[in-house]
Amino acid sequence: MNEIAFLGALEIGLVYGLVALGVFLSFRVLNFPDLTVDGSFPLGAAVTAALIVAGADPYLATGVAMLAGAAAGMVTAFLNLRFKILHLLASILTMIALYSINLRIMGRPNLALITEPTVLTPFEGLGLPGFYLKPLFALVVLLVAGGLLARFLASDYGLGLRATGANARMARAQGVATGRSTYFGMALSNAMVALGGALFAQMNGFADITMGTGTIVVGLAAVIVGEVVLRSRLIVIAVVACVLGSVLYRIAIALALNADALGLQSSDLNLVTAILVAVALILPGARNPIKALFAKAGAR
């Protein structure tokens, strides 16, 4: 793997680090298996691309994309809390609805941003080539988002949110409004995923209707890899682990795709990802909580 390929993997890993943070928040913290992300990732991209093409400021467009993601998360939470639709199913409904909504937003399946200004434009004059600038920019965004998330989870409100996921009855007995916590957590989770989509679109120069497929599996893979590498009861470390997991996962994938001996093509990515996550879930004694979550959901 050459330097450019490595930096490319790093960039994608960092952008998907935002997805990993969102998935961590819904799956791990809130105990809410949320597949909305397959829709909110392209939603973030679609909103940003459509607004930028229409002449809006890229930063404003990115902010609106995050709000759109938050709204998508709240729809899933609403379906689950208000109408008691199983969380997995509620999130699938939102995800499938978002496919049509994303098409409406973009007006066609693909929007090119290659000639448009993006959040990176103000920094392009610094003389750094794009393959350095992009991962650096993604790293800064990720550090800010991860830092804010860790700080939030260490606050009184964040602690209430963690209790909501860990033991809702106890949380209510301690005065945590668990319904409100769930709305907030789901909004935050999907806003981060949408931010990931918005950055992805601007760094790669396009938004595409199919770009969301498998987002959830990639996010889960990052969370699992992160928890295998770094495990701690400290919430800050858990957040760092997600980010690290996302980057390591991407580098591992890049290595696998680059290894001529394996004969893999880049179109094999989803297959490789699915196998990786499946193996992680099957491995005996694999101490990953997502496994426990699915085992529990299956037994019910």
Only segment of 35-43, 116-124, 149-157, 203-211 that touches other proteins (CB under 8 A): 149-157
* CA–CA gap between residue 62 and residue 122 (Å, rounded): 15
Distances, alpha carbon 152 to alpha carbons 2, 67, 156, 158, in Å: 38, 18, 8, 5
Degrees, nearest 5: CA angle 24-26-32: 130
One residue of 92, 113, 171, 244 binding other proteins per CB under 8 A: 171
Question: In this complex, which beta carbon is closest to other proteins, that of residue 47 or of residue 171?
Answer: 171
Only segment of 1-9, 96-104, 138-146, 168-176 that touches other proteins (CB under 8 A): 168-176
Q: Which of residues 43-62 bind other proteins (CB under 8 A)?
A: none
Answer for the pair 221, 273: CB distance below 8 angstroms, yes or no: yes
**Binding status of residue 146 toward other proteins by CB under 8 A:** no
Kindly write out the interface string for residues 99-138 of this chain, putting x where it contacts other proteins by CB under 8 A and - elsewhere: ----------------------------------------
One residue of 167, 213, 258, 273 binding other proteins per CB under 8 A: 167
One residue of 83, 169, 263, 300 binding other proteins per CB under 8 A: 169
**Binding status of residue 26 toward other proteins by CB under 8 A:** no
* CA–CA gap between residue 45 and residue 99 (Å, rounded): 12
Only segment of 66-74, 171-179, 204-212, 280-288 that touches other proteins (CB under 8 A): 171-179
Could you please report the per-residue DSSP string of 43-72? HHHHHHHHHHHTT--HHHHHHHHHHHHHHH
Please, what is the minimum distance in Å from the beta carbon of residue 174 to other proteins? Answer: 5
Only segment of 119-127, 134-142, 148-156, 212-220 that touches other proteins (CB under 8 A): 148-156
Distances, alpha carbon 175 to alpha carbons 30, 164, 256, in Å: 17, 11, 49
**Binding status of residue 24 toward other proteins by CB under 8 A:** no
Kindly write out the interface string for residues 185-214 of this chain, putting x where it contacts other proteins by CB under 8 A and - elsewhere: ------------------------------
122: buried, middle or exposed (CB in 10 Å: 19+, 13-18, 0-12)?
exposed
* CA–CA gap between residue 281 and residue 276 (Å, rounded): 9
Site residue total, other proteins (CB under 8 A) = 24
CA 3 to chain centre: 26
**Binding status of residue 160 toward other proteins by CB under 8 A:** yes
Degrees, nearest 5: CA angle 94-202-7: 110
**Binding status of residue 291 toward other proteins by CB under 8 A:** no
One residue of 159, 236, 251, 255 binding other proteins per CB under 8 A: 159
Q: Which of residues 227-246 bind other proteins (CB under 8 A)?
A: 233
Distances, alpha carbon 100 to alpha carbons 107, 222, 282, in Å: 10, 28, 35
* CA–CA gap between residue 186 and residue 30 (Å, rounded): 8
16: buried, middle or exposed (CB in 10 Å: 19+, 13-18, 0-12)?
buried
Question: In this complex, which beta carbon is closest to other proteins, that of residue 3 or of residue 156?
Answer: 156
The contact set with other proteins (CB under 8 A) reads 151-152, 154-160, 162-163, 166-167, 169-178, 233
